[in-house]
A and B are shown apart, each in its own frame.
Chain A
């Protein structure tokens, strides 16, 4: 069984100051949750050297990690929570629904294979009612659409299209793109934008073999499966690291998994090594900019936008690289919405019994979008987008989509400049 011996010491640092409790978005919205202090360090202290205790209340934790960011004593609260989730899943098993939800990749493959039918079916009321009755999925919840032309099918053409972009000097950098389930099956346009932005920066991209990053599994207590995926991805990606590739992801949950979660899941030197070579896409571009390698030939995009920072972006201790990058586009005006968790929380917001909490949580974010009154909303996370799409009437874009549009416009207006 997975155990992390390090945990046995780290929870002792908890002073019960309640900073994690006060900031926890789930605690703020339901009394059904035991709270991070109690289910994290306090529970760990209680069961040390004793029979493990299963606690159903852990089901409400979304592993957003706000507790980690609030704790002044460096207690790895969310990791303790992940172990409590695993314990609960081991004792009670996964419901069919949670099993399905945690298999984002499998679902993506199947749903995109029959995309027109799946999407249509998911939108019809009888199907939704059956889903709620049989699967305990919230009937009112909107689901992201699946694409028949998923990125696995379109990578080659996307690559060919990107190759048509002529750029003056090719960078020495090479990128292995961790696409993730969302950009693969639901939003290949994000992946396309990534390919183009990289190309505009003279960087060639390949798509290594990869499995789901494992975050949905972790969130549903299926830690062993998450560890399996972690081991697979770690091995695949490291072969590219050893050939001088940088690993870049457009989904901030994926990049968090590769940087942080794999280190505690695998506890191996390989995971540590991989972690040091992983970048979020905007973080990568910002790094290029700092090194004077960034293509600054950006055409104006006259638009106002609100930025929603995903929890798993905040967890990466990197400032707000998407804001840094987008602020370089002339005419583009973007402001951080300043709110916390969106409430979708990955698979959480699809679940019938969590749906009301999910909506209530999203209310503040939706209000801030409304109050700002910008034309669009920008966020890196597909699941945050799902909630934004349902709760607001503004179009939601990935930062790289904005950047790609600016580059394309620049190239179209000054074809010679781009071709020199």
Chain B
């Protein structure tokens, strides 16, 4: 019934499903749950947890320099997509920039959404905290930022919104609160008062936790920008970050609108392979079992974190289709019509346990290209 079945709903799965639909593949996406993208920062790094540049990244993933064009194409394609989804991304793969994280430390990234601004070396930055938000500690963030950027004049202030909640508030809750004009006005007033009180004349940059609107980030960013004539950025930290959530919901909504068929809360338990081709996958839900057949399959099940790989006493195991793999989880007996994407390519592609978003973009693009040429080849042959 399908041309392509994508297994997994992380960044890899969603991007692949969207691109495939656009190329006319009848596409299904099957997943046992949301991918790690919903816990992520929404940023696209080269090698997570490292400041290395593009060359180091090429070496890390064993890519050849003639694949540089592929990387550029993947990034352009992603930027086009995100422009269309009104969540534009900036950045240049040759020039990683420093952005702030929830701890206040800086990290290098190459693609970032419009709610994020690189941290300058100098000037005046004000970190905005909220009394009611325990997932972000502004004074620690300020201290860490000062250590990372000694020339930058860093201030910290905390707002009190007087909000009564029946649960512990997280960043996403604040992102939704800030979508209310009334709440924004209160924030702006309190920030103004505290800036005056502390004799901070004109901040160049306001640093918030990742709370600048859930769906309506433009409104939120626009209001603060206008009120203070300053640049704004988010410091993503403990999940859920509004920046990761925005990316996830934008991609998922797009996939649904394009007609990707979702099989949710369904765990793939194995597949049927014949003559080096995966014919179908079997899945289980809490009340049923089923089978999906397709011409092509994308394995976007993530690595150890996503559930696609499992660490056992004997070593790493591919736990979804039970394919043979080496000790890094790299599948060694890959059926010809199965394409592993992103973190499911094995531990050699992860750093600090995670696969950088840029590699995910590249591998998704490459898989689609390979599928396309295989399909064309088959059609010609036929």
Q: Which residues of A contact B (CB under 8 A)?
A: 17-19, 21-23, 27-28, 31-35, 38, 57, 65, 68-74, 76, 259-260, 263, 275-276, 290, 309, 314-315, 317-320, 323-324, 335-339, 364
Contacts and interface: CB of A to CB of B under 8 A. Distances in A.
Contact of A259 (B32, B166, B256, B287): B287
Interface SS of chain B: helix, strand, loop or mixed? loop
Contacts of B32: 72, 74
A33 B169 CA distance: 11
A263 B1 CA distance: 29
A19 B35 CA distance: 9
B303 interface: no
25 contacts: A21-B172, A22-B240, A27-B167, A27-B173, A32-B166, A33-B167, A69-B33, A71-B34, A72-B32, A72-B34, A74-B32, A74-B265, A76-B286, A263-B286, A263-B287, A275-B288, A314-B264, A315-B265, A317-B288, A318-B290, A319-B28, A335-B259, A336-B257, A337-B256, A339-B253
Given A68-B265, A276-B288, A18 B253 contact: no
A19 B241 CA distance: 11
B263 A19 contact: no
A74 B266 CA distance: 9
B167 A38 contact: yes
Interface centre among B1, B172, B261, B264 (most CB of A within 10 A): B264
Contacts of B283: 317
A317 B266 contact: yes
A53 B90 CA distance: 49
B319 interface: no
A25 B261 CA distance: 21
Contacts of A324: 1, 261
Nearest to A72: B33
A165 B245 CA distance: 51
Given A33-B167, A34-B167, A336-B257, A17 B263 contact: no
Nearest to A38: B167
A76 to B, nearest CB: 6
B296 to A, nearest CB: 17
A410 B164 CA distance: 60
Nearest to A56: B166
A37 to B, nearest CB: 9
A74 B267 contact: yes
Contacts of B245: 22
Contact of B262 (A23, A68, A320): A320
Contact of A317 (B1, B170, B264): B264
Minimum-distance CB pairs A-B, first 9: A72-B33, A319-B261, A338-B256, A31-B165, A69-B264, A22-B240, A338-B257, A260-B287, A317-B266
A380 to B, nearest CB: 15
Given A290-B1, A314-B262, A339-B253, 10 more contacts: A22-B34, A23-B34, A27-B167, A31-B169, A68-B265, A72-B33, A74-B32, A74-B286, A338-B252, A338-B256
B285 interface: yes
Given A19-B39, A23-B38, A33-B166, A28 B214 contact: yes
Interface string B145-182: 00000000000000000011111111011001000000
Contacts of A259: 287-288
A336 B30 CA distance: 17
B34 A70 contact: yes
A215 B299 CA distance: 36
A318 B28 CA distance: 10
Interface SS of chain A: helix, strand, loop or mixed? loop
Contacts of B253: 338-339
A317 B257 contact: no
A303 B308 CA distance: 43
Contact of A73 (B33, B173, B263, B288): B33
B307 interface: yes
Given A31-B173, A72-B307, A74-B33, A17 B239 contact: yes
A333 to B, nearest CB: 11
Interface centre among B38, B172, B240 (most CB of A within 10 A): B38
Contact of B257 (A18, A69, A335): A335
A72 B35 CA distance: 7
Contacts of B35: 72
Contacts of A21: 170, 172, 240
A69 B33 CA distance: 6
A163 to B, nearest CB: 32
A31 B164 contact: yes
Contacts of B286: 68, 74, 76, 260, 263
A371 to B, nearest CB: 10
Nearest to B26: A324
Interface string B21-39: 0000000101011110011
B3 interface: no
Interface in B226-264: 239-240, 245, 252-254, 256-257, 259, 261-264
Contacts of A323: 259, 261
A68 B283 CA distance: 16
B33 A57 contact: no
A31 B167 contact: yes
A314 B215 CA distance: 22
B260 to A, nearest CB: 9
Nearest to A71: B33
A32 B164 CA distance: 9
A35 B168 CA distance: 9
Contact of A18 (B165, B170, B176): B170
A314 B256 CA distance: 12
Contacts of B166: 31-34, 57
B271 to A, nearest CB: 17
Given A38-B167, A72-B32, A18 B240 contact: yes
A335 B245 CA distance: 24
Nearest to A260: B287
Contacts of B167: 27, 31, 33-35, 38, 57
A27 B166 CA distance: 10
A17 B39 contact: yes
